[in-house]
Structure 1
Amino acid sequence: MKKWIYKSLVVSVALLSFGLITPNHEIWANFEESRHNQSTLDRPSDNHIASAYQLDDILVDEKPLPTTDYFVSAAKEQSYIKFGTRVGPVIEQEFETKIFPKIEEAIATTIDRVGEEKLRNLSITEKPSGDYAEKIFHLVDANSQKDIIRFHVRTENRPFEGYYYNFHYHTYEDNYSKHYNLGDIYWSKNTPPKWLS
């Protein structure tokens, strides 16, 4: 195998994993050993291997910071997963104009407050709850496994009016005790379908 293919393979693993998976250098050493057994003439020098390792280490260490746009996009995706095919089309327009801009604002404000070091470890949950449970998604500090902010939607049956969806969020700053209201969307007087349906 040519030297450039070997280096390309190392760099490709680092790039494709976005620095999340660190290649086990023992694998590369075994790979190199099996190549040596096949042919000692084509074996690259130790300098080439060392420079490939160094390049690999540099690429793995430079994990890009997630952006507000990344979290906003993921938030929208998780919201529509929760709504499912029965609720989503009915509330989509009002959600896009009335609720989602406030979700974007809350995400941007939270990201500004957490700082760059925590931002590097921030992730978004990917499994909205079904049935009639409230969870849409949470932003989580991956190191501490603590929710930074929780976005929820509650189904409310208001007497003589019908069913509403109340969108709100909770933050770690007050131990998730306060509801920060994002707005309501009216469903109808009929019982709404379960989430994810």
Structure 2
Amino acid sequence: MKKWFQKSIIITVALLTFGLISPSHFIWEQILDSKSPSRTIASNANDYEQVTITDESYVYKNMAHAAREQAYIKFGNRIGPVIQHEFDDVIFPKMQEAIDMTIAKASAQEITRLSISEQPSGDHHEKIFNIYNDSTKKDLIRFHVRTDKKPQEGYYFNFHYHLAEDKYSKHYVLGDIYWSKNTPPKWLS
């Protein structure tokens, strides 16, 4: 596709959406890739609302970004900086793998209806976020973090998830992160 045409599409979409769709390279590469049949681009300026993206890789990346964001909201300013590196290196790759597995099991139609909850629970509650079907409002997977106190060792954050398949009865452990012997602050603080 010619560069001038690509730039004009980007400018047109930016103007019509009042800047709500930023010119992120990943998004525009996916939208402007004319070889993929799963993408449709509006034919004229009046149909700009009909731009749809059903590419699973876009959904995977979007979910992963939202998951990390919700986790850091849950951690707050006091816990987040302390556990950030271990979370990013150990826990988040396993969390992303669980998300990918859940999305892979969903049908193409269901994938377009998946959403991520936006309110992690505070105080000492476990919920980080849930991935749910937006039309049925039923959770597919729930991600939690629990504070455990091990005698003579101290406090750990136990990251785990629950699946709708087994009615959320089983803990699927993602891993533990050590805090210290001191009581950790409340979530969202």
TM-score band by shorter chain is 0.7 to 0.9
Deviation at 1:64, TM superposition (A): 1.9
- What SS does the aligned partner of 2:129 have? strand
Aligned residues: 153
Q: Aligned partner of 1:12: which letter?
A: L
Q: Percent identity?
A: 54
Q: 2:114 and 2:77 mapped to 1: Cα distance?
A: 29
Counterpart of 1:192? 184
Match of 1:154 in 2: 146
DSSP 3-state at the match of 1:67: helix
- Tell me whether 1:83 sits opposite 2:75 in the alignment: yes
1:163 matched to 2:155: yes
Distance 1:139 1:190 in 2: 32
Tell me the SS of whatever aligns to 1:137.
Answer: strand
Whether the 8 Å contact between 1:86 and 1:193 is mirrored in structure 2 is: yes
Structure showing greater Rg: 1
Cα–Cα, structure 1 residues 61 and 14, in superposed 2: closer, same or farther, change >3 Å?
Answer: farther
Provide closer, same or farther for how the CA distance between residues 189 and 113 of structure 1 changes in structure 2, counting only shifts above 3 A. Answer: same
> Which stretch of the first structure deviates more once superposed, 65-74 or 184-193?
65-74
State which of 91, 94, 97 in structure 2 corresponds to 1:105.
Answer: 97
Is 1:71 aligned to 2:63, yes or no? yes
The alignment's C-alpha RMSD in Å is 2.3
Give the C-alpha shift of residue 62 in structure 1.
Answer: 4.4
Residue among 105, 128, 132 paired with 2:120? 128
CA 1:182/1:61 → structure 2, altered by over 3 Å: closer, same or farther?
same
Secondary structure of 2:159's counterpart equals strand
How far off its partner does 1:90 sit?
Answer: 0.7
**1-structure distance, mates of 2:167, 2:50:** 33
Hey, which of these two has a bigger chunk of helix by percent?
1
TM-score (normalizing by structure 1)? 0.71
The aligned counterpart of 1:30 is none
Paired position in structure 1 for 2:33: none
Measured after TM superposition, the shift of residue 60 of structure 1 is: 3.6
Question: Of 109, 124, 144, which residue of structure 2 is paired with 1:117?
Answer: 109
Q: Confirm or deny: 8 A CA contact 1:156 1:165 kept in the other structure.
A: yes
Shift of 1:14: 10
* Alpha-carbon distance change, 155 to 13 in structure 1, aligned in 2, over 3 angstroms: same
Please list every run of 5 or more consecutive structure 1 residues that lacks an aligned counterpart in the other structure.
1-7, 18-50
Preserved CA contact (<8 Å) 1:140 1:148: yes
Where does residue 179 of structure 1 map in the other structure? 171
2:159 counterpart letter in structure 1: F
Give 3-state SS (helix, strand or coil) of 1:144's partner. coil
Q: Give structure 2 stretches of 5+ with no counterpart.
A: 1-11, 22-42
Aligned-residue offset at 1:52: 7.3
Contact 1:167 1:181 survives alignment (8 Å): yes
